[in-house]
């Protein structure tokens, strides 16, 4: 029941999200609420379109002709007032000083879109074309930042529970946002071409925070002259990869073959000739190329490691080759070669003759024997003839004679030529190596 009459009317009304109609009069109301009203002479009717916004339950108070309209709510927008047309500018605020201004009208909520900030903590990285603001109508994906030597592992920040590489701010999102770039160090590879060498404790990977020096490789018979490869313009022995470097790396070991001596010394008749001896020759090849032809002496102080050295030894008349004839060595260090000749060939006897020069003493007859001359001639192409030796072999049960080394080569007072056995005369040619050739002949005289 109406107890008092007031000029103030309180109306509880629910306004919808898009279109709100409000039929209000002081005498008649299109509402289900219990309204106490003492005015019956005026009728007001207007509607409010939220244009995307929504309204809460509110008390609308009409005080005389003044009315405060509800403020709609719309995510991502600021309400700025009402207009009498959907596309018009703001004409009214929430406060209407005379309700007749909107009586029998439909008014529309007007909005300003809110721009929200996006801030970044790049943690040492860099980024291009990153948005620094957005609004509820935008649909954007954050660009991927970069950082030298590091791999981007994702964003953390607003609305993210874990690091996420692809972050999209979808249409309808609101609020200021902050994102932090997360990084993992990038691992780069290091490969080596050792060119036949070996190495230990070499790094095969690194990252931007590493700092190290490449170890020195080794190769038998070679000297390391340096690395070539990533970032090097020439062979460099000591290579340091300093902190801050990036990228895969490749290095090649460079070598110079060690040089070794090859000395060929002839051995002739067990004597070494460091400068050789005429007539005793050999030829030399290195890696298939002849470097000396029939020489008596050879010395080379700079033969590379691994080279093939071949020596062929020629014959020398009067000598036999006692070492190798044809042999090849692989150079792994200094090499001394000793071709060897030795005279073990007996002299060649060219003339041997035994002559009876007659009785030693004709007046004495045979009792004093005969004079016998032994002639021997020989040659030796090796060491040469050293001497001749002569002697008489024993006859029957008789006696011989000692070996004579005499230039006269005549035996005097030789007895017993008249026996049936006669006497056997021997001669030997001896060369300087001690090799001997012997001839003998038997003569006798008739009584």
- Domain 260-342, CATH number (from 2.60.40.1140, 3.90.1170.50, 3.40.309.10, 3.40.50.300): 2.60.40.1140
CA distance 356 to 379: 25
Is residue 284 within 8 Å of residue 276, measured between CB atoms?
A: no
Q: Please say if the pLDDT value at position 27 is more than 70.
A: no
- Greater pLDDT, 260 or 420: 260
Whether 218 and 157 have beta carbons less than 8 Å apart is answered as no
Statement: 348-443 belongs to CATH 2.60.40.10: yes
| Dist CA 210 CA 184 (whole Å) | 14
**Helical ranges in 20-153 per DSSP H:** none
Write down the pLDDT at residue 434. Answer: 93
User: What's the pLDDT score for residue 43?
Assistant: 66
Task: Provide the pLDDT confidence category of residue 114 given band limits of 50, 70 and 90.
Answer: very high
Q: How far, in Å, are 132, 397, 399, 419 from residue 416 at the CA level?
A: 144, 12, 10, 6
In this prediction, residue 280 carries a pLDDT of 97
Domain ranges of the chain: 8-113, 116-185, 189-256, 260-342, 348-443
Residue 418 has pLDDT above 60, yes or no: yes
Report yes or no: 421 and 333 within 8 Å, Cβ to Cβ.
no
- pLDDT digit string (tens) for 280-313? 999 999 999 999 999 999 999 999 999 999 999 9
Do the domains spanning 260-342 and 348-443 agree at the CATH topology level? yes
Cα–Cα distance between 242 and 427 in angstroms, integer?
A: 92
Encoding tokens for residue 257? Answer: 């073959």
Residue 23 confidence (pLDDT)? 36
| Sequence-ordered list of residues with C-beta below 8 angstroms from that of 447, at least 6 positions apart, any chain | 418
DSSP-assigned letter for residue 251? E
pTM to 2 decimal places: 0.63
Residue range 313-333, pLDDT digits in tens: 999 999 999 999 999 999 999
Q: Residue 26 has what pLDDT?
A: 29
Distance, CA of 72 to CA of 40 (rounded, Å) = 30
Residue predicted with more confidence, 342 or 409: 342
């Amino acid at each position: 029941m109406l107890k008092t009459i007031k000029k103030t009317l309180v109306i509880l009304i629910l306004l919808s999200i898009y279109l709100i109609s409000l039929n209000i009069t002081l005498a008649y109301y299109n509402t289900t609420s219990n309204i106490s009203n003492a005015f019956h002479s005026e009728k007001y009717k207007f509607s409010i379109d939220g244009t995307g916004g929504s309204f809460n339950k509110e008390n609308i108070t009409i005080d005389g002709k003044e009315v405060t309209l509800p403020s709609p709510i719309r995510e991502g927008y600021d309400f700025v007032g009402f207009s009498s047309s959907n596309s018009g500018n703001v004409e009214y605020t929430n406060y209407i000083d005379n309700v007749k201004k909107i009586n029998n009208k439909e008014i529309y909520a007007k909005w300003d879109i809110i721009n929200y900030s996006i801030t970044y903590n790049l943690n040492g990285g860099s980024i291009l074309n990153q948005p620094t603001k957005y609004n509820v109508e935008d649909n954007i994906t954050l660009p991927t930042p970069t950082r030298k030597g590091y791999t981007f592992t994702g964003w953390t920040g607003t609305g993210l529970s874990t690091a996420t590489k692809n972050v999209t701010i979808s249409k309808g999102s609101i609020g200021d946002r902050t994102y932090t770039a997360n990084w993992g160090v990038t691992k780069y590879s290091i490969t080596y071409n050792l060119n036949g060498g070996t190495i230990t404790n070499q790094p095969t990977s690194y990252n931007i925070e590493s700092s190290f020096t490449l170890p020195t490789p080794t190769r038998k018979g070679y000297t390391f002259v340096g690395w070539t490869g990533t970032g090097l313009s020439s062979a460099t022995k000591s290579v340091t990869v300093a902190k801050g470097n990036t990228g895969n790396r490749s290095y090649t070991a460079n070598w110079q073959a060690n040089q070794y001596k090859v000395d060929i010394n002839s051995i002739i008749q067990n004597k070494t000739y460091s400068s050789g001896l005429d007539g005793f020759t050999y030829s030399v090849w290195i890696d298939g190329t002849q470097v000396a032809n029939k020489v008596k002496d050879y010395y080379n102080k700079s033969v590379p490691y691994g080279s093939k050295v071949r020596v062929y030894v020629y014959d020398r008349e009067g000598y036999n080759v006692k070492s190798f004839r044809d042999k090849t060595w692989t150079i792994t260090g200094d090499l001394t070669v000793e071709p060897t000749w030795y005279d073990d060939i007996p002299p060649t006897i060219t003339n041997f003759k035994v002559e009876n020069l007659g009785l030693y003493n004709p007046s004495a007859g045979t009792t004093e024997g005969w004079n016998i001359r032994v002639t021997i001639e020989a040659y030796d192409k090796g060491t040469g003839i050293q001497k001749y030796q002569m002697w008489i072999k024993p006859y029957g049960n008789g006696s011989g004679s000692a070996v004579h080394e005499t230039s006269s080569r005549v035996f005097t007072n030789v007895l017993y030529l008249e026996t049936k056995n006669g006497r056997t005369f021997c001669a030997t040619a001896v060369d300087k190596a001690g090799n001997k050739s012997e001839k003998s002949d038997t003569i006798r005289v008739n009584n």
